[in-house]
Structure 1
Amino acid sequence: MATGTEEKAKGAANKAAGKAKEAAGKATNSGKTEAKGKAQQGKGEVQKGKGDAKDSQKKKR
């Protein structure tokens, strides 16, 4: 199981990749690629949230 820090790192990577994909979609006028980029950014946000939650639980122990 990934630690909170690992989850946050994965989240940041997904957000960055999603932003690049969204920009590429806009540049090429591809709504599908743009939507995939936005979805990947959302996934990154969720992963970051999971990481924050894991770190928070760890501190409570």
Structure 2
Amino acid sequence: MGEQAAHGDVLPEFLSLPFPRMFVYGAQQASLPYLPKLTANGVQLAQVPHSGHWPMYSNAT
């Protein structure tokens, strides 16, 4: 999937995974256009407060 992540659309593949999924994102990215599609497809969203694109670096606590 590395090549596809770099050059393709991974959303359909992510949505087709046969197990529970979670998408973690920073609060500064709350306007991502695909968030509604994720929730509509049963993906649990986890917003990290005070964080940007890389929550694990912006707000690692």
- Shared fold by TM > 0.5? no
TM norm structure 1: 0.27
Higher-helix-fraction structure? 1
Structure with greater contact order relative to length (CA < 8 Å, sep ≥ 6)? 1
TM norm structure 2: 0.27
Greater Rg by CA: 1
Higher-strand-fraction structure? 2
